[in-house]
Structure 1
Amino acid sequence: MWSFRRCLNTFCLDPLKKWLHNHPRDTIFALSSGHGKCGVAVIRTSGPASQEALHLLTKWNSLPTPRQVKLSSIWCPKSGELLDRGLVVWFSGPHSFTGEDCCEYHVHGGPAVVSGVLQALGSLQMMRPAEPGEFTKRAFQNGKLDLTEVEGLGDLIHAETEVQRRQALRQMSGDLGQLYERWSQQLLKALAHIEAFIDFSEDDNVEEGVLLAVDEVVETLQKELEEHLRDNRRGERLRDGVQVVLTGATNAGKSSLLNVISQKPTAIVSSSPGTTRDVIEATLNIGGYPIILSDTAGLRDSEDPIEREGVRRAKARVGEADVLVAVLDVSNGLWSQETLLDHLQSLYSNLQGDEPRSVIVALNKVDLLSQESIVNIEKLCRDPKLPPVCLLSCHTGEGISNFLRIMRDCLEGICGNPLQGAPTITQTRHRHHLTACLDALGRYSVHRQQDLVLSAEELRIAQRQLGAITGRVSAEEILDIIFSDFCIGK
């Protein structure tokens, strides 16, 4: 039977901490700044031999003041050759990025200098080159970062837009991890209480009201998790890029619009219908929001097997889109005011489908219309039942800035402002573990009136799912909570 005592016997000792205690780490080194010629390059070491390596490379007899820059000559410990004169910064563990003794050498960024310092460090027996991500891995293992902060750091390094940077910085600062840690601690306390009731209620040391308090915690947490998961994937879309798809009939100007927005000839433009046969993508930054803009084949019936495949791929990409841009040619004289309105309303309904999505209508080639026609269309498009409608010309550039403004507002509505409100889910694995946690809490409610042991196990599963997100999974803390909340065995 799973109980608190069995939990302690199984999980009392954290295997990772025990292994780290019995196996001293290697000392690692690597170039921490970018590769290639630059003014200054930063080479970092981390581990117990960082101090000895510092003495050998600088010939200093004592350690410098931590976190203060000091100018020094840097020597090869084997040949005694002067390699460079640069800045050295010493970080005493645990007050460093990795939690270990660290040293940074800020040297001139020429390839020969960098290679010389790296070879000098590699010539020392107690040093080895770092593996990819190993400095951050050590920061996590030493409790300097949780997994969400590690992922935030990775996202910050790869951020290409301003809004991506803001989201990554917020996650790296620990906001998301703190939210999950708060939920984890609530579950941990609830688990400790229900385990204590199972093991000690017969001794009259635990009040029956404890179980009702656990039920309240579980119910509240279920509501918070459900609300957190109903985020429309804002954080994930911002991290990976919003899928924006250009769709419409042949020769409507989809490829021209792609080229205008990306400001380069990404797609071939021709007056011949059906030029675009495959999906063409461009990764762009619209007002700080990342998008993956896809140009697709014109939608029409065709006997050409290649074009039919292009239309099939276009329809598939439309189904995956976060934002659909319906491009229409309004210059061909086929649209009266009534038919255009009916067509736009029908188009909007069809494009939304079963799952409502963002739609923008781009009425292209307005440079070929009279001013009177443009005014009439503008009045027509103010219908509140329609999605945002832009009049533009890819040929003259008219209306493009307005189109980009509407697109930016649409992206902000999808992704939100990462600096406001509660932090959002940014990784698919977060959503997986949160969903599994919510499922376990639902099973707790099912077992609650029948078997407390099974209920406790569901709480344990839920707590582990949250711990898997931050990388902090421990059952030892249950002991501390029990003895802080109950006077058992006094």
Structure 2
Amino acid sequence: MANSSDTIYALSSGALPAGIAVVRISGPAAETILKRLTGKAVEPRIARLLVLRDEQGGILDQALTLFFPEGMSFTGEAVVELHLHGGKAVLRAVLDAIAVFPNTRPAEAGEFTRRAFINGRMDLTSAEGVADLISAETDAQRRFALSNAVGDQERLYSSWREKLIEARALIEADLDFSDEGDVPGSVADAVMEQVHALRVAVKDHLSQTRRGEILRDGFRIAIIGEPNVGKSSLLNALARRDVAIVSDEAGTTRDLIEVALDLGGYKVVLIDTAGLRETENKVERIGIERARNAAQQADLVLLLHVAGTEKPSLDLPVQTLSIATKADLQADSVTTEAILLSTETGVGISELLTGIKHCVSVAASGASLLLPSRERHVQHLRQAHHALERSEWSNLPIELLAEELRIAADHLGHITGAIGVDDLLDVIFTRFCIGK
């Protein structure tokens, strides 16, 4: 990461051309840059329509300008926003004019949000929530990301950490000052009751990990069956476009084909797979193995067979919907064990979508959006839970109990960025878009 004392700037709105282009400037020179570009005195937090000029006095654009003083902005630094006309030439001219100021440079990916974190404007989970909010594709993803961006996760993990720090302080006071009158007697029983309640809370929170993954990354559905049962046709029908090649020739699909959809506000990932059969073709065998793995790892399997033929029997550890395809070719087909479906006529598509939406809502919905949202959160939560488990071992010396509580509190601190995250910052913030 470049010098954090530099003043940074970047386009913070969408791709050009556009109706408006928003340029954000953050750092010690932000106020000076605005004064020089406009030739006007700066008024904090007031939008003003002003003419921007370069160093030679040439007109760059007429822009809506905003200035946020240090401590009252997104980054915590002095920040300027220029709302320009959204043309490429306009933007280039304005950025060139900003670049001539000393110690001023283009922002790196995620650098505005990184500065907000460093300056205490948000914790690490909130910063990650901002990134997720920007990339949200469905309403469920938006609500989940917004919950994290406004600090709900931070408040939960920080409250747990504070309770552990308090419990550890009581134990150490009991050890060091047990002969003093203002320190309560043995606090072990009271502390262990609180520790047990925290361990249960962390365990319950971890049990919701998969639900958080579904909200953030999507509900995965594998389409499984023998060759030529209509897997690719079903994928195309659900996606409402030609995603996969459809052919009468067996073994057309050799690899996994994934398509993301928005169903009922949730992200759903459909996976077309190779037809399951015995074959000597090495490439097809690899595809079949990948199909089996996809079925094992999916949240839901759509198991297809042609209407009027025997339903396949597969021992899968996940929920399965049985679908009898090509119903238009089997007019007299009747089944109570499968959804009767035809991609040619559309019969059964609505029923199938209803079934899928129900499965997704059951897996992803709940009373709270306070869920583990990233793998690093899960790893630290697991380590905190292990430490709390160890703290409940019988006959554990009180000194070791205090140490286990410290370990658990530290892992919670790593999640929010309260302690020891310098080595993670580049990894986290370089995944952001430029200008955020």
Query: CA 1:274–1:128 in structure 2 vs 1: closer, same or farther (change >3 Å)?
Result: closer
Question: Which position in structure 1 is the counterpart of 2:196?
Answer: 219
CA distance in 2, matches of 1:209, 1:49: 57
Query: Structure 1 39/24 Cα, relative in aligned 2: closer, same or farther at 3 Å?
Result: closer
Structure 2 letter corresponding to 1:456: A
State the Cα deviation string for residues 328-372 of structure 1 (Å, max 9, x = none): 111xx445xxxx5xx6xx54xx123xxxx222122111122335x
2:94 aligned with 1:117? yes
The one-letter code matched in structure 2 to 1:421 is S
Cα separation, partners in 2 of 1:136 and 1:176, compared to 1, 3 Å: same
Aligned to 2:321: 360
Superposition pairs for residues 92-107 of structure 1, below 5 Å?
92-107=69-84
1:301-333 alpha-carbon deviations (Å, 9 max, x no partner): 123223222212211221221111101111xx4
Unaligned 5+ runs, structure 1? 1-22, 382-388, 475-490
1:290 matched to 2:270? The reply is no
Structure-2 change in CA distance of 1:454 and 1:232 (3 Å):
closer
Task: Give a deviation string over 1:151-187, Cα, whole Å, max 9, x none.
Answer: 1110011111121111111111211211111111111
**Runs of 4+ with >3 A deviation:** 202-205
1:384 corresponding residue in structure 2: none
Residue 412 (structure 1) aligns with: 361
Q: 1:82 to 1:232 in 2, by over 3 A?
A: closer
Tell whether 2:30 aligns with 1:50: yes
Deviation at 1:75, TM superposition (A): 1.1
3-state secondary structure, aligned to 1:52: helix
| Cα deviation, residue 451, structure 1 | 2.4
Task: Give the SS at the match of 1:155.
Answer: helix
Q: Which structure 2 segments of 5+ residues have no match?
A: 421-436
Greater per-residue helix proportion = 1
Whole-Å Cα distance in 1 between the matches of residues 144 and 77 of structure 2?
Answer: 28
Does 2:244 match 1:267?
yes
Kept after mapping to 1: 8 A contact 2:259/2:270: yes
CA contact (8 A) 2:220 2:269 kept: yes
Equivalent residue, structure 2, for 1:393: 342
Give the match's secondary structure for 2:352.
helix
Partner of 2:121: 144
Letter in 2 for 1:449: N
Establish whether residue 70 from structure 1 lines up as the match of residue 48 from structure 2.
Answer: yes
How much is the aligned-residue C-alpha RMSD, in angstroms? 1.8
* Local SS of the residue matching 2:187: helix
Q: Which has the larger radius of gyration?
A: 1
Q: How does 1:274-353 map to 2 (within 5 A)?
A: 274-330=251-307, 333-335=308-310, 346-347=313-314, 350-352=315-317
Question: For residues 57-206 of structure 1, what are the structure 2 equivalents within 5 Å?
Answer: 57-60=37-40, 62-64=41-43, 66-76=44-54, 78-206=55-183
The separation in 2 between residues aligned to 1:126 and 1:314, in whole angstroms, is: 55
Matching residue's letter, 2:35: H
Provide, for residues 121-149 of structure 1, a one-character-per-residue CA deviation record: whole Å limited to 9, x for no partner.
11000322211111100111111111111
One-letter identity of the residue aligned with 1:404: L
Name the SS of the counterpart of 1:294 in structure 2. Answer: strand
What SS does the aligned partner of 1:300 have? coil
SS for the counterpart of 1:299 is coil
Query: Do structure 1's residue 36 and structure 2's residue 16 form an aligned pair?
Result: yes
What is the aligned counterpart of 1:438 among 385, 392, 397?
Answer: 385
1:449 paired residue number? 395
- Per the alignment, residue 372 of structure 2 pairs with 425
TM-score (norm 2): 0.91
> CA-to-partner distance for each residue in 1:25-63, whole Å, 9 max, x for gaps?
222111111232111111111112211111111111x32
User: What is the identity, as a one-letter code, of the residue corresponding to 2:171?
Assistant: I
Q: CA deviation at 1:233?
A: 0.9
The verdict on how the C-alpha distance between 1:197 and 1:394 changes in structure 2, with shifts beyond 3 A counting, is: same
For residues 347 and 160 of structure 2, the distance between their equivalents in structure 1, rounded to whole angstroms, comes to: 52
Aligned length: 418
The DSSP-based 3-state class of the residue aligned with 1:106 is strand
The answer to whether the 8 A contact 2:209-2:371 is kept is no
Q: Name whichever of 231-240 and 179-188 sits farther off.
A: 231-240
Matches for 1:213-252 after TM superposition, within 5 Å: 213-231=190-208, 233-252=210-229
SS at structure 1 position matched to 2:177: helix
Give 1:232 shift: 5.1
Secondary structure at the aligned position of 2:25 is classed as strand
Residues 442-483 of structure 1, C-alpha deviation per residue, up to 9 Å, x if partnerless?
Answer: 12223x734222221111111010011111139xxxxxxxxx
Alpha-carbon offset, residue 204 of structure 1: 4.1
The code of the aligned residue for 1:131 comes to E
Cα deviation, residue 150, structure 1: 0.6
